[in-house]
Structures are given as structure tokens and as C-alpha cells.
Structure 1
């Protein structure tokens, strides 16, 4: 069985010029990192990047909930993780209803779960947070609010760097493949696209990667683009996360060094 899956990831991942709030669709994902030298997991709504900052929600509200029994690495154990999920649900429901707040992201690190919201007016935020947390008397918590017109908390703290953003996009496609029964251990044809500002750069890129078993499939041209000269290459590869990340990040990093744009990959589902 084979079905075609297309993945195109544009590197301009803060496209404020594409302000289309009617098209907003929550797009939550997570990634691992470090916060002040402690391992951390950050979850955020990636689709907010398309139209943030929201001028009518310039205040950032944060709530810190302290774990009662964290693991040595600072992350919650299974049972407490479930309770934190309930706390999150109540905070989101309460602040969306009372402050018309938008839930932007969450972090977990060093035994603390932090939740981040944006709102137009933080008046009485302390009361509303307390009302939500009364359901969980066994948990200590703090909260605060600050003006953040440019949504720096979202873009500079919660949002992943450009490399991690690329890996997140890879994982999204791999999840789709898995949902359709893909067998990641089986190699199959995978196409990649890269675009360049000059034909000379494109030729140099190809000379650099040709020894890595890639094959040229085409030379697409986008006449009205700043990077009009395309290169479509292919190679047989597996679709497990490590294999995809190694290949895609190699091509992506090389493109970045040459001021080119890695523009995505396409493959087929191999389910038997």
C-alpha cells in the first residue's frame, strides 16, 4: 500500500504579513530544552505565530504551580502529571471565561509547572486564579502579570529556535504517516526541495551533496521569487524520527549556510 504525503515547511515562520485570524486553528505541540540549566518541556500554540502579537491582548498572565513529588529531573510522576492536566483545564476554563484570556503556552522544569496567558485587561486576575486553584488545596502556586505588547514572552521564551521548529514540523508529518499505518523501518523514495538565489549556488549545493546518494529529480523555477532556482532531489530512506531528522537537518543546515531555502519533503506511506 502506498499513499503520497506532502510536507512543505517555509522558513519564514513568523509571517505577520499573513494576518488571517479567521483562519486560526489551535496547533499545540511540545519540545524539550533547558531552562536555567534544568531540563524542560515547553508546550505552546504554534498557530499563534501567524498573527501575534494581538494588539487587543497586551498583558501576559502567568501562573506557577509547584509539584508536590517531582522526579529527580524535575518532571512530574505519572499520577501527578494527571493532576496537573486537571489544573490546566480549570485555569484555562476560568481565565477564558472571566478575562477572555488566550492560553499561549506552558512549561515544566525544576519541579514547577508554569502556564501563560494573554489578555486585554488583567483586572481581578488574582481572584480568578484563586477561584480555579481552590479545587486543588494541596498545591502551592504563584502568579503575576506584566505588559507585553510585542508578545516577547511568546516569541522569545516559549517559541522554539528555528532548528527545533523544523524538527517539530518533521514530527507532525511522521505522526500523520504513523496514523496511516506507515512502517518507518522500511526504506522508500523521499523527495526534497531546495531553492536558491542563483544558479551557481544551486550547482555548488548539488556538488556538495551528490556523494550522499541523492538523485536529481528536477530543476523547478519560481520566476517571481527571491529564490527562484529550485533543486528537487530524492533518496531512499527510512521514516523513523532519527533518520528523517538527520537527513532533513543536514539538507536544511547546508541550505541555510548558502542563503538558500530548504522547502520540504514528500514521501509515500509504506504500510506492508
Structure 2
């Protein structure tokens, strides 16, 4: 049984200076691992906001730092405390949404501290609102603060992943979809990839290079409206476990970067038996 799953990067429109959250907005939460000040960290954020931020009506960032009671040696909480932090998060989100019309944009955990981040149009009484929510958790120490952040620097420069990590996040989304449909990751199948170039000569040189890596050239599509109109459709037999997909995709992505080309996604079939 084989069904086709397509994953192509859409050309996202960037809507800045939005007064209200557009109807097209859909939350898109995901997480990734990194380091914050040389300490292992996990960052979770709403990727769906990247199409619309910064919102001019929400120019203030608010943070709440909650200190873990018994962090592990790596600075992360034990399982039971992870659950408790989830309850704290729900209370803070409900309180700040209600009292300040704040929007929850992300969270980090590192070095024994869980940080929650919001953007709001109003910061009047924000400390009292946070204190009201945290009063339900008297055994947790916390700090809070706010700053004007019209360009949403906190979101884009601190929480948002770099380009490579964003690519891996997209890969994981597709792999989760495959798994949900019963895909057998260990089974090899044809996986197609697309890359777009500014010049035909760059496309041909790239094609020769990746053919030596086991990729076959399946087509040369043209996107006349795009800034990089000369496409290359590649295929290779690969598995759909995370390591295999990341290895193939990141190799093509990095090679594309070297010639200022654009890696544009991949497509495969579900192999369920």
C-alpha cells in the first residue's frame, strides 16, 4: 500500500504591522533543542506567528521566569515537575489573556528555569496579574518583567530557530504525518526533492554534483514568477526515519546554500506494508 505525501515549502507572505490577528492565523507550536548561555535548553514557540509578526498593537514583551524546585543535573525538570509546569503555564496563559489581552508566543527551559513569553498591548498591572496566577503555586519562586519590543526582537532573534533548525522542524512535521498514517520508516522508497536556482548554469553544475551522490534528475521545472526560476527535481531511494531524512535533506540544503540556490522541499509515498 502506497500513498503520496507532499511536502513543499509554501512561499509564505509576511504581513507586518497588523493591528489585529488576521483570520489566516493558525497556531503552529513546535519545539527544538539548543543551548542558552552554554547550557542545554528546549525552546517551544508558536511558529504560526512568523507570517504576521510584529503586531503593532502588541508592542510590549512580558516574561515570567519560574524556578524549578528539583532540577536534574542537566537543568531540566523530572517528569512529575514537567506536568506541574504545564499547569502553571495554563494558569498564566489564561490570566494574561483575560487581564491584558496578551498573546503567548513561546517558552524556554534551561539551567533550572522555565521562562514564559507574551506580547501585549497593555502592561498596566501586569505584575499584579502574574502574581494572581502564581498565588496558586506558593511553593514556586518566580520573577517577571517587561520591555517595549516593537520589532518583536524577542520572538525573532531569541526564540525563533535558525534556518537549519527550522528545516529540521519541518522535516519532523512531515515524518509525524507519515507515522500517523502507518508508514514503515525502515522501508526504502523513492523520495523526491526540489531545488531552485537563479541561473541555468548553476542548476546544471549542481545536478552533476548531486548525481555523484546517488540522486537522479527527474525534471527541470521552471517557475517564471519566482526570483529563482530554474528548478531541479531530484530523487533517491531513502528511508523515512529522522536520521535518514535529515541527512539527505540537510546535505541538499547545504549544497544549495553554497550556490545561493533554494531547497524547496521533499515528497514521498506512505509505505504501510
1:247 counterpart = 2:248: yes
Q: Identify the residue that residue 130 of structure 1 maps to in structure 2.
A: 131
Distance (Å, rounded) in 2 between the aligned partners of 1:30 and 1:22: 24
2:212 is paired with a residue whose SS is helix
2:235 is paired with a residue whose SS is strand
1:81 counterpart = 2:78: no
Partners of 2:17 and 2:55 within 8 A in 1: no
> Unaligned stretches of 5+ in structure 1?
none
Q: Identify the residue that residue 9 of structure 1 maps to in structure 2.
A: 9
Q: Identify the residue that residue 45 of structure 1 maps to in structure 2.
A: 46
Distance (Å, rounded) in 2 between the aligned partners of 1:260 and 1:145: 40
**Please, what TM-score do these two structures have when normalized by structure 1?**
0.97
Q: Taking structure 1 as reference, are residues 118 and 131 closer, same or farther at Cα in structure 2, changes over 3 Å only?
A: same
Q: Identify the residue that residue 179 of structure 2 maps to in structure 1.
A: 178
Cα RMSD after superposing both structures: 1.4
Q: Identify the residue that residue 153 of structure 1 maps to in structure 2.
A: 154
CA drift at 1:16: 3.6
Q: How does 1:100-119 map to 2 (within 5 A)?
A: 100-119=101-120
The C-alpha deviation readout for 1:127-154, integer Å capped at 9, x for no partner, is 1101001111110000001000000000
Q: Taking structure 1 as reference, are residues 3 and 33 closer, same or farther at Cα in structure 2, changes over 3 Å only?
A: same
CA drift at 1:213: 1.3
1:197 counterpart = 2:195: no
Partners of 1:64 and 1:115 within 8 A in 2: yes
Q: Identify the residue that residue 222 of structure 2 maps to in structure 1.
A: 221
Partners of 1:18 and 1:50 within 8 A in 2: no
CA drift at 1:15: 2.8
> Unaligned stretches of 5+ in structure 2?
none
1:22 is paired with a residue whose SS is coil
Distance (Å, rounded) in 2 between the aligned partners of 1:211 and 1:22: 47
Distance (Å, rounded) in 2 between the aligned partners of 1:171 and 1:254: 21
How many residue pairs end up in the alignment?
A: 271
Partners of 1:13 and 1:49 within 8 A in 2: no
Distance (Å, rounded) in 2 between the aligned partners of 1:223 and 1:14: 18
Distance (Å, rounded) in 1 between the aligned partners of 2:128 and 2:204: 63
Partners of 2:17 and 2:53 within 8 A in 1: no
**Please, what TM-score do these two structures have when normalized by structure 2?**
0.97
The list of structure 1 runs, each at least 4 consecutive aligned residues, that deviate by more than 3 angstroms after superposition, is 16-20
2:96 is paired with a residue whose SS is helix
CA drift at 1:224: 2.0
